[in-house]
Amino acid sequence: MESLKSLKENVAIFLPENGLEEKLKLAEKENRSLRIKLGFDPTAPDLHLGHAVVLKKLKEFQDLGHQIVILVGSFTAQIGDPTGKNKSRQPLNADQVQKNAETYINQLSKIINVDKAEIVFNSDWLDHLPFSDVIQLLSKVTVAQLMHRNDFNKRFIENTPIAMHELVYPILQAYDSVQINADIEMGGTDQLFNCTMGRQLQETNGDAAQIVLCMPLLRGTDGKEKMSKSLNNIIGLTDEPNEMFGKTMSIPDDLLEEYIALATDFSIEEKANLNERLKSDNPMLIKKIVAKNIITQYHSEKDAEAAEAFFNNQFQKRNDDNRVFEPIEIDSLQITTEKISVLEVCHQLKNDLSKTAVRRLIESGAVQINGEKSTDPLADFLVEKETKIKIGKRDFFELK
Amino acid sequence: MESLKSLKENVAIFLPENGLEEKLKLAEKENRSLRIKLGFDPTAPDLHLGHAVVLKKLKEFQDLGHQIVILVGSFTAQIGDPTGKNKSRQPLNADQVQKNAETYINQLSKIINVDKAEIVFNSDWLDHLPFSDVIQLLSKVTVAQLMHRNDFNKRFIENTPIAMHELVYPILQAYDSVQINADIEMGGTDQLFNCTMGRQLQETNGDAAQIVLCMPLLRGTDGKEKMSKSLNNIIGLTDEPNEMFGKTMSIPDDLLEEYIALATDFSIEEKANLNERLKSDNPMLIKKIVAKNIITQYHSEKDAEAAEAFFNNQFQKRNDDNRVFEPIEIDSLQITTEKISVLEVCHQLKNDLSKTAVRRLIESGAVQINGEKSTDPLADFLVEKETKIKIGKRDFFELK
């Protein structure tokens, strides 16, 4: 099962552990496709690379012939935040939901084949759910189960108010799974609890329980929090190529492995190869490869090339900062071997400063070599023509 | 305000404490009657003296010109217990609810003027409450508030499952108060929490909060638990006079004060007088007075007299148990003073038994003097003609 190995790649949580294998066998035995649910909140239709982690997994299933079901959470979006405390959850009317859903579907088409996907709105069944059925639904779930959800439990213990309707929302998400007869529900790892409710409700209803596949949460360009529009750390699927390139170049180096795994569409072997190169190559080189791959996915290879050229050009300009680089003849450097330390080179260029002062400049991040900060005074300096060295705010040198 | 003093009689809880005074002033100022709500569960339409405690208070308000609103909880009755665990809460159809409500109203007419009361069914607004409104409603209440209800808190701590719909029911009861614009909600002390929710929801809704008047819970004929059909300890409002008399006579003596206060319609002075007599008179005499008063309330004075005569006759028969009482000449008793102990008398009558054996018989409740158990061997025995003494199952004596 080559496809199984690929389907399992990157998945953070399988519930139950062997559930995927069993559902795939079932589909084969019953000669049918699996119904794979992904819920979507139509209040925030801007998709980013974080969403893409899940969507690309969906695409894999779609390519194997399975049925994607996109669930638009129109019911709750039309209610908004009934307490009025959450300003970002203003109630939407049906038109706004429809418009946001269209925006969303349009963005989905960058990853999955939306013509083959089923798009459903949960207001279709929730708007007219009689109150007596609501009570029946609520009776299937206990308060303790809901309170076990991490954030509820924390808030309860800390006496942070939990309004009653908040406890109801996970049950609604579960009810959606019953309605659409989901075999698999996908989501980020933060959706594990809600997806698990679906399993329970399907079983209570006499249906087979869906399995749950949770994908890791991609961190945003800040390298700290999960990618989220409200944190202003996203790379959007509809960002222009140049913006995508620049944002990708801005991520911290230690995020590269995560982005290679989750944001690129390289093969498993190519990814392993890049990770190997990470150990020795300048991270900026790998970032450029990752950035071009991302742009190729959401725009085109040509766009990726153009974005790189634009970035290099901009980068050049930024470093130029409208100043003339002082040309330094390589021969003028007092070098003993081919390599000397950053500290030695900088001290030779700025011999009006003491060696200690230069060391401090380097350690404080005030020295850039080819646009990259160089904070280790004793790091090797590769003597090469066209190397650009910036010391402090005003001194620019270029080896000739 | 003589009426205020009377209205406050027996009320266990006023919320807020001076709420009743203020509502009455408001009614006077606005020249209107107060709307006084009492909820009723149509699954169990058999009314008993426990219900009557609240109903008689309602009657007082009605006599002062206020508007009684009887809320039939038809919505939840038609759902029953969705978990199916509580067999006594089978879902009722609309016809059954209507029939039970009629039975209930018929019984109400023994206490209040039902023609002047407003009778409303909460399914009228709850059946068609859109789910989005349900969510709005739930958002007004926090989980913590509901969990503060004694029984929820206890069950949560003890890990006894609480199904989610159970948390919703108090909110529905509160919503009923909003719908009927209640000034006062009445109930037993066990309804305090649910009635308090109504205050909160009315305030959230921009209405004046109802006040809550809780009446004490009358204990049943067992003298232990509150009167409740499921505990088989009720005196029903529709019980036949003879049954009412017999059941009242069967209550433990230490319940008499409670019954005088809550089950009779004597004036405050008459009640005080009866309580005084309790200190010296044979409790059976007071019980007969209470029993006749109860029968007079729900049947007639004539029925009460007849029931007493029937009881006395039956009591005689029961004690006779088709046996001849062995006549004992008072003079034959070896007495030193006018009074001797129960043990001494019994031992003289049953001199085939050891004194220890007789003492055990008395302590085990096997000795009756004039039909009342006499369990204290050292209690004074009043030597009087016609005193009937029963020892064990077979020996009957009567002083001559």
Q: Which long-range contacts (CB under 8 A, 24 or more apart) does B12-15 make?
A: B12/B189, B12/B214, B12/B215, B12/B216, B13/B189, B13/B192, B13/B212, B13/B213, B13/B214, B14/B211, B14/B212, B14/B213, B15/B192, B15/B195, B15/B196, B15/B199, B15/B211, B15/B212, B15/B213, B15/B214
- Tell me which chain B residues have a C-beta less than 8 angstroms from the C-beta of A83: 139
Interface test with B, best of A75, A139, A151, A200 (most B CBs within 10 A): A139
Instruction: Identify whether the C-beta of residue A383 lies closer than 8 Å to the C-beta of residue A339.
Output: yes
Neighbours of A3 (CB within 10 A): 12
Residue A323 pLDDT = 59
Q: Which of B127, B135, B156 sits opposite A143 (nearest CB)?
A: B156
At residue A197 the predicted structure's pLDDT band, cuts being 50, 70 and 90, is very high
**B127 chain-A contacts, CB cut-off 8 A:** 130-132
Using CB atoms, which residue from A139, A152, A164 is nearest to B138? Answer: A164
User: How many residue pairs bridge chain A and chain B with CB atoms within 8 Å of each other?
Assistant: 114
For the segment B94-142, what is each residue's pLDDT rounded down to a tens digit?
899 999 999 999 999 999 999 999 999 999 999 999 999 999 999 999 9
**A400 vs A242, residue with greater confidence:** A242
Tens of pLDDT along A151-168? Answer: 888 888 888 889 999 899
Going by pLDDT thresholds of 50, 70 and 90, the confidence category of residue B355 is: confident
CB-nearest partner of A144 from B76, B128, B161: B161
Closest alpha carbon within chain B to A76: B132
pLDDT at site A338: 63
- Cross-chain residue pair B75–A132, CB shorter than 8 Å: yes
Nearest to A138 among B130, B152, B164 (CB): B164
Per mean pLDDT, which of A271-280, B142-151, B152-161 is the most reliable?
Answer: A271-280
Terminal Cα-to-Cα distance of chain B (whole angstroms): 57
CA distance to A85, A282, B99, per residue, from A97 (Å): 21, 46, 46
Of B82, B131, B139, the CB nearest to A82: B139
pLDDT at position B338 is 62
Residue of A nearest to B129 (CA): A131
| pLDDT reported for residue B317 | 63
Q: How many helices (H) and strands (E) does chain B have?
A: 18, 13
Mutate which of B76, B81, B135 to disrupt the A interface (most A C-beta within 10 Å)? B135
Provide the residue type at A235 as one letter: I
Alpha-carbon distance of A353 to A373, in angstroms, equals: 20
| pLDDT band, very low/low/confident/very high, at A304 (cuts 50, 70, 90) | very high
Q: Nearest CA to CA, how far is A164 from chain B (Å)?
A: 5
Is pLDDT of B284 > 70? yes
The better pLDDT of the pair B88, A398 is held by A398
Query: Which residue of chain B is at minimal alpha-carbon distance from A145?
Result: B161
Percent of chain B with pLDDT over 70: 95
How far is A78 from chain B, CA to nearest CA, in Å? 9
Task: List residues in chain B touching A: CB distance below 8 A.
Answer: 75-76, 78-79, 82-83, 126-132, 134-136, 138-144, 146-147, 152, 156, 159, 161-165, 167-168, 171
Closest chain B C-alpha to A188 CA, distance in angstroms = 26
A299: left (phi over 0), alpha (psi -120 to 50) or beta: alpha
**pLDDT band for position B88 (cuts 50, 70, 90):** low
- Where do we find the tokens 């893409």? A52
Q: How far is A131 from chain B (nearest CA, A)?
A: 6
- Under the banding of pLDDT at 50, 70 and 90, the label for residue A336 is low
pLDDT tens digits along B324-349: 677 777 777 777 666 688 888 888 88
The pLDDT mean for chain A works out to 89
Nearest neighbour of B162 by CB, restricted to A134, A142, A171: A142
Contact flag A79-B138 (C-beta cutoff 8 Å): no
The torsion region of residue B335 among left (phi > 0), alpha (psi -120 to 50) and beta comes to beta
The SS3 assignment for A42 reads coil
Residues whose CB is less than 8 angstroms from the CB of residue A323 and which lie 6 or more positions away in sequence, other chains included: A394, A396
Instruction: Note whether A288 and A371 are within 8 A (CB).
Output: no
Residue type, A305: E
Span B58-85, average pLDDT: 89
Query: Is residue A266's pLDDT more than 60?
Result: yes
Q: Which pLDDT band holds residue A301 (cuts at 50, 70, 90)? A: very high
Q: pLDDT at position B35, please?
A: 98
Quick one: pLDDT band at residue A1, thresholds 50, 70, 90?
low
- Confidence bin at B316 (pLDDT 50/70/90): low
Q: What is the DSSP letter of B30?
A: T
- pLDDT at residue number A32: 96
Tokens of A104: 């969303």
Residues listed for chain A: 400
For range A280-309, the mean pLDDT: 94
- Per residue in A103-140, pLDDT (tens digit) is 999 999 999 999 999 999 999 999 999 999 999 999 99
In tens, the pLDDT along B190-234 reads 999 999 999 999 999 999 999 999 999 999 999 999 998 888 899
Whether the per-residue pLDDT at A281 is higher than 90: the answer is no
pLDDT value of residue A356? 86
Q: How far B196 CA lies from chain A's nearest CA (Å)?
A: 17
> Shortest CB distance from B83 goes to which of A126, A139, A167?
A139
Distance separating alpha carbons of residues B289 and B148, to the nearest angstrom = 43
Distance of CA B49 to the CA centre of its chain: 4
- Count CB-CB contacts under 10 A for residue B16: 11
Q: What percent of chain A has pLDDT over 70?
A: 95
Backbone φ, ψ for residue A127 (5° rounding): -55, -40
Judge whether B174 and B187 are in contact, CB under 8 Å.
Answer: no
Q: How far is A252 from chain B (nearest CA, A)?
A: 41
pLDDT attached to residue A352: 75
The pLDDT of residue B217 is 96
Q: What is residue A322's predicted lDDT score, i.e. its pLDDT?
A: 54
pLDDT at B349: 84
Residue B322 clears pLDDT 70, i.e. is over it: no
Summarize the confidence of residues A355-365 as an average pLDDT.
Answer: 86
A142 neighbourhood in chain B, CB within 8 Å: 161-164
Residue B26 has pLDDT above 80, yes or no: yes
Find chain B residues with C-beta within 8 A of A173's C-beta. Answer: none
CB contacts, 8 Å: B126 with chain A: 131
Task: Say yes or no for a CB contact (<8 Å) between A79 and B132.
Answer: yes
For all residues of chain B together, what is the average pLDDT?
89
Contacts of A127 in chain B (CB under 8 A): 130-132
Token pair of B264 as six digits: 């009779």
CB-CB under 8 Å, B139 with A164: yes
Give the pLDDT mean for A138-154: 89
Residues B248-280: tens digit of each pLDDT = 999 999 999 999 999 999 999 999 999 999 998
- Rounded to 5°, the CA angle B255-B261-B262 comes to 85
Model confidence at A372: pLDDT above 70: yes
A194/chain B closest Cα distance in angstroms = 15
Cross-chain residue pair A132–B162, CB shorter than 8 Å: no
Q: Give the nearest partner residue to B135 out of A82, A142, A162, using CB atoms.
A: A82
Mutate to test the interface with A, among B85, B140, B164 (most CBs of A within 10 A): B164
Choose the closest CB to B138 out of A142, A147, A163.
A163
Does this model's pTM top 0.80?
no
Does position A344 have pLDDT exceeding 90, yes or no?
no
Tell me which chain B residues have a C-beta less than 8 angstroms from the C-beta of A161: 142-144
Nearest to A134 among B76, B78, B131 (CB): B131
The pLDDT tens digits for A8-66 are 999 999 999 999 999 999 999 999 999 999 999 888 778 999 999 999 999 999 999 99
Q: Nearest Cα to A11, choosing from A215, A261, A190, A217? A: A215
pLDDT tens for each residue of B44-69: 778 999 999 999 999 999 999 999 99
Residue A221 pLDDT class (50, 70, 90 cuts): very high
Q: Provide, as residue numbers in chain A, all residues whose Cβ is less than 8 Å from the Cβ of B139.
A: 82-83, 163-165
**A273-277, B184-188, B325-329: lowest mean pLDDT where?**
B325-329
* pLDDT (average), residues B3-24: 93
In angstroms, what CA-CA distances link B174 with B82, B179, B181? 21, 9, 11
Chain B: nearest CA to A102, how far in angstroms? 23
